[in-house]
Amino acid sequence: MIISNTLGIVFANAHDALLKDMTKTSSMGAVNYGGRYRLIDFALSNLSNGGVSKVGVITKSNYYSLMAHIGNGKPWDLDRKKGGINILPPYISPEAQVYKGRLEAIHGILEYLEESKEENVVICDSDVVANINIRNLLAYHKEKNADITVVTAYGKKPNGQKDMMHYDFGEDGRIISVDFSPAEDCEYSLDTMVIGRELLIDIVKAEFATQGVSLSHGIFEKGLNKYRIYGYKHQGYSAVIDSIESYFNANLDLLSKEVRNDVFNKNNPIYTNSRDDMPAKYGLKSKVKNAIIADGCIIEGTVKNSVLFRGVKVGAGAVVENCVLMHGAEIGAGAKVSNVIADNFVKISDNKEVGAQTGVVYIEKNTLIGG
């Protein structure tokens, strides 16, 4: 039985600037990941697997590719008569405007929130790779009789977002303090939280009326003692994408079986839009080791420690090492490519050498390298 009393709100553009080369013409949610996904697939699949059947996706700019990807929400089972998925662009209501922060964004969709009947709202960004069990999160939220529950991960706090929070927990999991400074060994935010729908509306209205600065200000600075705010510790793998490096590493993390089994949990699959490519084709003398390969690839060369998206071609004698090659990238015969992120449809000519000894080189969409 799936009767959900929860609404999902996903921020598609949050933290775009941290991947500014990659999001020049798209949004964080539309960034490619793991061979066949886009980052927003995690938020949408987690919500869907958690029984949430009404989801609003807040967009700001460059949202064509995101809209094309989401379509009517079918892959996530969100093509519903009741609820379903809604893209919520700016200018959705007469007084709306392009929002600056989360507070303005949510203020812009107050009508949507007020019309909804659900008791709780799960708000998430689309910059996190994690298979978060929303059902357990909601159960925890209820069990603690919380007003707000934030999802956290333990470890060194990612340093890309300058206002990322980490929390100190009291004995029963209630959050007693919030800190924005860099930290090691802490419980930091995975940009996902549950909040009562009416409470969210109240906080947003109050903050807006007093020209408040941000949603987190309204919740965590003013409300820490006023509201029952709890932390839900996510146990499995997680990666916050806040730089080209963290993007690269989060892709290569999938080469670990443990990570794959956790992220692509068979009981809570991550869904995406199907492209209907034929299976990957390995040619004569292909040599592929420790690699994630998507359908539609044609591989005639060597590929090691890499993630290849759908429709990538690797020519005969080419060597690809420590790379993330996105949709339709083509590596010419005899080319050598290492430590590279090649965006969609990058072409590297025959016998070219591209890459770095250390670190990672990002090559923009549609770039042709060599002849």
Partner 1 sequence: MKKTECVAMLLAGGQGSRLGVLTQKIAKPAVPYGGKYRIIDFPLSNCANSGITTVGILTQYQPLELSDYVASGKFWDLDRRNGGVHVLPPYQQISGANWYRGTANAIYQNLNFIERYDPEHVLILSGDHIYKMDYAKMIAQHKENNADCTISVIDVPLEEASRFGIINCNPDGTIYEFEEKPKQPKSTLASMGIYVFNWDKLKKYLTEDEANETSSNDFGKDVLPAMLNDGCKMMVYRFNDYWKDVGTIESLWDANLDLLNPKIDLNLSDPNWKIYSGTQGLPPQYMGESADVENSLVTVGCDVNGKLDYSVLFENVTVEEGAVVEYSLIMPGSVIKKGAVVRYAIVAENAVVEEGAVIGQSPEEISNIDNWGIAVVGDGLTIGKGAVITAGKMITEDVKEGETV
Show contacts with partner 1 in window 78-117 (CB under 8 A).
none
DSSP symbols for 146-176:
-SEEEEEEEESPPSSSTT--EEEE-TTSBEE
| Binding of residue 280 to partner 1 (CB under 8 A) | yes
In this complex, which beta carbon is closest to partner 1, that of residue 97 or of residue 261? Answer: 261
| The residue to which tokens 């300058």 are assigned | 162
**Residue from 71, 170, 269, 359 in contact with partner 1 (CB under 8 A):** 269
**Residue from 179, 253, 262, 277 in contact with partner 1 (CB under 8 A):** 277
| Binding of residue 295 to partner 1 (CB under 8 A) | yes
| Binding of residue 71 to partner 1 (CB under 8 A) | no
In this complex, which beta carbon is closest to partner 1, that of residue 84 or of residue 160? Answer: 84
Mark the segment that binds partner 1 (CB under 8 A) among 9-17, 139-147, 256-264, 334-342.
256-264
Of 53, 57, 113, 114, the closest CA to residue 84 belongs to: 53
Which phi and psi (to 5°) does residue 332 adopt? -65, 165
Mark the segment that binds partner 1 (CB under 8 A) among 13-21, 166-174, 258-266, 344-352.
258-266
H helix runs in 74-196, sequence order: 102-108, 110-115, 134-143
Find the shortest distance in angstroms from Cβ 308 to partner 1: 8
How many residues touch partner 1 (CB under 8 A)? 37
In this complex, which beta carbon is closest to partner 1, that of residue 119 or of residue 277? Answer: 277
Token duo for residue 69: 């990807």
In this complex, which beta carbon is closest to partner 1, that of residue 288 or of residue 363? Answer: 288
Q: Are residues 306 and 323 in contact, defined by beta-carbon separation less than 8 angstroms? A: yes
Show contacts with partner 1 in window 304-333 (CB under 8 A).
311
In this complex, which beta carbon is closest to partner 1, that of residue 18 or of residue 44? Answer: 44
| Binding of residue 154 to partner 1 (CB under 8 A) | no
**Residue from 67, 74, 173, 228 in contact with partner 1 (CB under 8 A):** 74
Q: Which residues contact 332 (CB under 8 A, 6 or more apart)?
A: 315, 318, 347, 348, 349, 350, 351, 352, 370
Beta-carbon count within 10 A of 342 CB? 30
SS3 assignment, position 306: strand
DSSP symbols for 194-226:
EEEHHHHHHHHHHHHHTT---HHIIIIITSTTT
**Residue from 176, 289, 353, 370 in contact with partner 1 (CB under 8 A):** 289
Mark the segment that binds partner 1 (CB under 8 A) among 31-39, 54-62, 185-193, 330-338.
31-39
| Binding of residue 294 to partner 1 (CB under 8 A) | yes
Exposed, middle or buried: residue 312 (CB in 10 Å: 0-12, 13-18, 19+)?
Answer: buried
Q: Are residues 128 and 240 in contact, defined by beta-carbon separation less than 8 angstroms? A: yes
Token duo for residue 257: 């079986």
What residues line the site for partner 1 (CB under 8 A)?
A: 34-36, 74-75, 255, 257, 260, 263-264, 269-271, 274, 276-296, 303, 311
